[in-house]
């Protein structure tokens, strides 16, 4: 078990390094002069003197070779220093820390909601004996996954804010203002969980040990929850780990649709004005969330199936 954990930790560190490196290289390869773009963002003006450009190049290291800039930037990032925002002059870490609570609140509500909705739909679809109802329930995930998040958000606002007037359409105020954004994030994620879990449940329900449990007189609910769900949940658990990172990315769209302050708004503003330090910080944070959640998922696998530890270590021996 210790070797399994160490191997997963090493993989997590590798993913973080790769994410930071790719973000650094892609931002460096963008067309145009990044220093001129950042200077215009910071000064709110396109009139920047050559002397000011030279100062910014020296300040942000753009007067040095690429490898030197990368090594210096990576060294600072390892200590949690991503520099200062060009647009505001504040440290990137402080900027992200201020924007983080609303986004964590949003995703922290949306992820459990997606798991509950998706799990309930999958269990309902695989437990019913009515063929037409089963076919209808099994077709819902494919439809839900295809719906863009911004469209779902706009429809929810139109229905529950402008017509029924149950929830506010914009802002971060109170628990009521969190309902529509959380549902907007949760719906596509729930459909993906339902699609994977329902297919896995249908496959597991045809396994011999499930048939044996039924032959011994096990009720439908007991067979599904006690025998089938545990083994069928492994693929869905993997999807949940991926969804945690996707929800953070989708929050960029949702927070803009509902005019919420958070990482989404900061990311949009930083990309618009090409605030490179902030963009790098957001990319690394998103990768960190993805890595941590998937690490927890990997560590949860052995609790469901001890064979995973043995097979995983043999494949990397």
Per-residue pLDDT band for 224 (boundaries 50, 70, 90) equals low
Euclidean distance between CA atoms 40 and 26, whole angstroms = 21
Per-residue pLDDT band for 153 (boundaries 50, 70, 90) equals confident
The residue with tokens 């067979």 is: 223
Q: What share of the chain is helix, strand, coil (3-state, %, to 5)?
A: 80, 0, 20
User: Once rounded to an integer, what is the mean pLDDT over residues 3-14?
Assistant: 79
The residue with tokens 């949860």 is: 300
High-pLDDT (> 90) share of the chain, %: 0
Euclidean distance between CA atoms 17 and 6, whole angstroms = 17
Q: Where are the domains of the chain?
A: 2-78, 100-274
Per-residue pLDDT band for 316 (boundaries 50, 70, 90) equals very low
Residues 6+ apart with CB under 8 A from 35: 53, 56, 57, 60, 62
Euclidean distance between CA atoms 279 and 285, whole angstroms = 10
Torsion, CA 55, CA 60, CA 65, CA 67, rounded to 10: 170
User: Once rounded to an integer, what is the mean pLDDT over residues 137-164?
Assistant: 84
Selected residue with higher pLDDT from 239 and 71: 71
Per-residue pLDDT band for 19 (boundaries 50, 70, 90) equals confident
Euclidean distance between CA atoms 221 and 219, whole angstroms = 6
- Is residue 191 classed exposed, middle or buried when 0-12, 13-18 and 19+ CB atoms within 10 A define those classes? buried
Per-residue pLDDT band for 214 (boundaries 50, 70, 90) equals low
The pTM is what?
0.71
Whether 221 shows a pLDDT value over 50: the answer reads yes
Q: Which two tokens mark 19?
A: 């994410």
User: Once rounded to an integer, what is the mean pLDDT over residues 261-274?
Assistant: 81
Q: Which two tokens mark 314?
A: 């043999």
Other C-beta atoms within 10 Å of 298: how many?
21
User: Once rounded to an integer, what is the mean pLDDT over residues 116-130?
Assistant: 84
Mean pLDDT (the chain, rounded): 77
User: Once rounded to an integer, what is the mean pLDDT over residues 261-267?
Assistant: 83
Q: What is the pLDDT of residues 280-303, one digit of tens each?
A: 888 888 888 878 877 777 777 666
How far, rounded to the nearest angstrom, does the alpha carbon of residue 115 sit from its chain's CA centroid? 14
Whether 310 shows a pLDDT value over 60: the answer reads no
- Is residue 45 classed exposed, middle or buried when 0-12, 13-18 and 19+ CB atoms within 10 A define those classes? exposed
- Is residue 231 classed exposed, middle or buried when 0-12, 13-18 and 19+ CB atoms within 10 A define those classes? middle
User: Once rounded to an integer, what is the mean pLDDT over residues 116-138?
Assistant: 84
- Phi then psi for residue 84, to 5 deg, are -110, 145
Euclidean distance between CA atoms 185 and 248, whole angstroms = 9
Query: What DSSP character marks residue 218?
Result: -
Euclidean distance between CA atoms 264 and 294, whole angstroms = 22
Selected residue with higher pLDDT from 66 and 21: 21
High-pLDDT (> 70) share of the chain, %: 80
Per-residue pLDDT band for 243 (boundaries 50, 70, 90) equals confident
Q: What is the pLDDT of residues 42-78, one digit of tens each?
A: 544 455 677 777 777 777 777 778 888 888 888 888 8
Q: At what angle do helices 66-78 and 276-304 cross, to 10 degrees?
A: 60
Whether 211 shows a pLDDT value over 80: the answer reads no
CATH of 100-274, one of 1.10.3720.10, 3.30.1360.200, 2.130.10.10, 1.10.510.10: 1.10.3720.10
Specify the pLDDT at position 44.
46
Per-residue pLDDT band for 269 (boundaries 50, 70, 90) equals confident
Selected residue with higher pLDDT from 115 and 215: 115
């Amino acid at each position: 078990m210790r070797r399994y954990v160490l191997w997963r930790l090493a993989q997590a560190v590798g993913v973080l390094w790769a994410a930071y490196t790719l973000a650094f290289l892609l931002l460096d390869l963008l067309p145009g002069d990044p220093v001129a773009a950042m200077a215009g963002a910071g000064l709110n003006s396109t009139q920047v003197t050559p002397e000011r450009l030279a100062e910014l190049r020296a300040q942000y290291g753009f007067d040095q070779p690429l490898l030197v800039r990368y090594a210096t930037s990576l060294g600072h990032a390892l200590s949690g220093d991503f520099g200062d925002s060009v647009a505001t002059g504040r440290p990137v870490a402080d900027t992200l820390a201020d924007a983080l609570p609303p986004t964590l609140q949003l995703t922290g509500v949306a992820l459990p909601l997606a798991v509950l909705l998706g799990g309930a739909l999958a269990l309902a679809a695989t437990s019913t004996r009515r063929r037409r109802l089963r076919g209808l329930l099994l077709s819902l995930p494919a439809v839900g996954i295809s719906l863009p998040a911004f469209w779902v958000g706009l429809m929810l606002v139109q229905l529950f804010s402008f017509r029924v007037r149950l929830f506010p359409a914009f802002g971060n105020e109170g628990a009521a203002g969190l309902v529509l954004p959380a549902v907007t994030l949760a719906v596509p994620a729930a459909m993906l969980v339902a699609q994977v879990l329902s297919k896995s449940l249908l496959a597991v329900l045809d396994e011999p040990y499930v048939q044996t449990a039924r032959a011994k007189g096990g009720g439908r609910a007991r067979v599904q929850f006690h025998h089938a769900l545990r083994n069928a949940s492994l693929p869905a658990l993997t999807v949940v780990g991926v969804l945690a990172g996707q929800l953070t990315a989708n929050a960029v769209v949702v927070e803009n649709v509902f005019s919420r302050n958070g990482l989404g708004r900061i990311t949009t503003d930083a990309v618009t004005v090409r605030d490179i330090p902030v963009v790098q910080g957001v990319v690394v944070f998103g990768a960190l969330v993805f890595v941590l959640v998937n690490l927890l998922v990997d560590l949860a696998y052995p609790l469901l199936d001890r064979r995973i530890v043995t097979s995983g270590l043999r494949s990397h021996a």
